[in-house]
Amino acid sequence: MDYPLFIRPAAEAVASGECERGIVFGGSGNGEAMVANKVHGVRCALCWSEESARLSRQHNDANVLSMGERLDSGRSRARNCADLAGNSFDGGRHERRVAMLNAM
């Protein structure tokens, strides 16, 4: 499957404000994250655990999560990661770095 054809529209929906956040899935999640991060305004994080999902939101203000089916140990972990996408951004010391990401 040519996943860029599906991932890019999802990332563009987040970047345009049509969607507040997004979740993309693939085999490993790596390629999907790479595609999403090509879209200006998207900060896509590859998540393989609840902790990686939580930190991506709190520290990096990730607005798209990428998860890999081959790397996930089950649906419950994917659901937990998706739930963590609703966490808020901590701001503070992380704001400067996120601003740098947004300027790129």
Helix, strand, coil tally for the chain in percent (to 5): 50, 10, 35
Cβ atoms of residues 81 and 66 within 8 Å? no
Q: Which of 50, 59, 94, 95 is catalytic?
A: 59
The alpha carbon of residue 57 and the mean position of all alpha carbons in its chain are separated, in whole angstroms, by: 8
Q: Which of 12, 18, 20, 32 is catalytic?
A: 32
32 part of the active site: yes
The catalytic residues are 32, 59
